[in-house]
């Protein structure tokens, strides 16, 4: 598959780039994509939730009233879960939500996501560029020139570009990632995938 390379003004450069069929033209595997997204979201969870149970609540262990003759239900100490301020029954405890996934499955999921974007025509290839200093306004102008300002966009760069990252950090619908850190969730979450010209070779290396 060939795509035209454009500059940051959105104008054609007269060059074409070949997207490898073994990366951008495979048959998408929906189950592999599901597993990869599930793992990514699960690994984002901190798992630090905690509530105090009966034995952890501060309070007296004295029986608050006699067992019989009160006309009401029997009760133990004030830490009883049925009382206000008492412990919680089977409350959440800290746990690790992390999932493990086979490398081949994760690779297949990324290939499926990239191929889906290519077939849907949601990939833009732009020549390599950088900023001398962070400029959010200039970055917005580039998105506007590429006609992706109103959609979620993901810019894939060759290496970590601090100025580009800082320029896009305040934009809700835009993000920047280097090619080696590209994952299935980020690809699917973006409405438009902007590939810098040099990032394509990096993607090839990471998929090898």
- Measure the CA angle with vertex 72, ends 68 and 74; round to 5°: 55
| Cα separation, 171 vs 167, whole angstroms | 8
Using CA atoms of 161, 165, 168, 170 in order, give the dihedral in degrees to the nearest 10: -160
pLDDT for 2: 87
pLDDT for 206: 87
pLDDT for 207: 85
Provide CATH 3.40.1370.10 ranges for the chain: 2-45+98-207
- 10-residue mean pLDDT series, the chain (208 residues): 89 90 93 97 95 94 94 93 93 94 95 94 93 93 92 93 92 92 94 93 87
The domain defined by 2-45+98-207 folds into: Ribosomal Protein L4; Chain: A; (3.40.1370)
Contact 185, 113 (CB under 8 A): no
SS3 122: coil
pLDDT for 123: 95
Long-range contacts of 140-147 (CB under 8 A, 24+ apart): 140/171, 142/8, 143/174, 145/8, 145/9, 145/10, 146/6, 146/8, 146/10, 146/192, 146/194, 147/10
| Cα separation, 107 vs 184, whole angstroms | 9
Share of the chain above pLDDT 70, in %: 100
pLDDT for 117: 94
- Dump pLDDT digits (tens) for 58-95: 999 999 999 999 999 999 999 999 999 999 999 999 99
Tell me what the pLDDT averaged over the chain comes to: 93
**DSSP, res 180:** G
Pairing of strands 153-157, 2-6: unpaired
pTM recorded for the entire structure:
0.82
pLDDT for 208: 74
């Amino acid at each position: 598959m060939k795509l035209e390379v454009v500059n940051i003004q959105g104008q054609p450069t007269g060059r074409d780039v070949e997207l490898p069929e073994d990366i951008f033209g495979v048959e998408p595997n929906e189950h592999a994509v599901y597993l990869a997204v599930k793992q990514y979201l699960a690994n984002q969870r901190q798992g630090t939730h905690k509530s105090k149970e009966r034995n952890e609540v501060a309070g007296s262990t004295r029986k608050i009233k006699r067992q019989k003759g009160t006309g009401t239900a029997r009760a133990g100490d004030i830490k009883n879960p049925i009382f206000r301020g008492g412990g919680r029954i089977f409350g959440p405890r800290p746990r690790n939500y992390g999932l493990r996934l086979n490398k081949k499955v994760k690779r297949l999921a990324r290939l499926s996501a990239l191929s889906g974007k290519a077939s849907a025509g949601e990939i833009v290839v732009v020549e390599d560029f950088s900023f001398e200093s962070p400029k959010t306004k200039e970055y917005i102008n580039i998105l506007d020139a590429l006609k992706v300002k109103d959609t979620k966009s993901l810019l894939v760069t060759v290496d970590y570009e601090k100025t580009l990252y800082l320029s896009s950090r305040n934009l809700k619908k835009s993000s920047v990632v280097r090619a080696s850190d590209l994952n299935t969730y980020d690809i699917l979450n973006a409405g438009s995938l902007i590939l810098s010209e040099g990032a394509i070779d990096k993607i090839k290396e990471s998929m090898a």
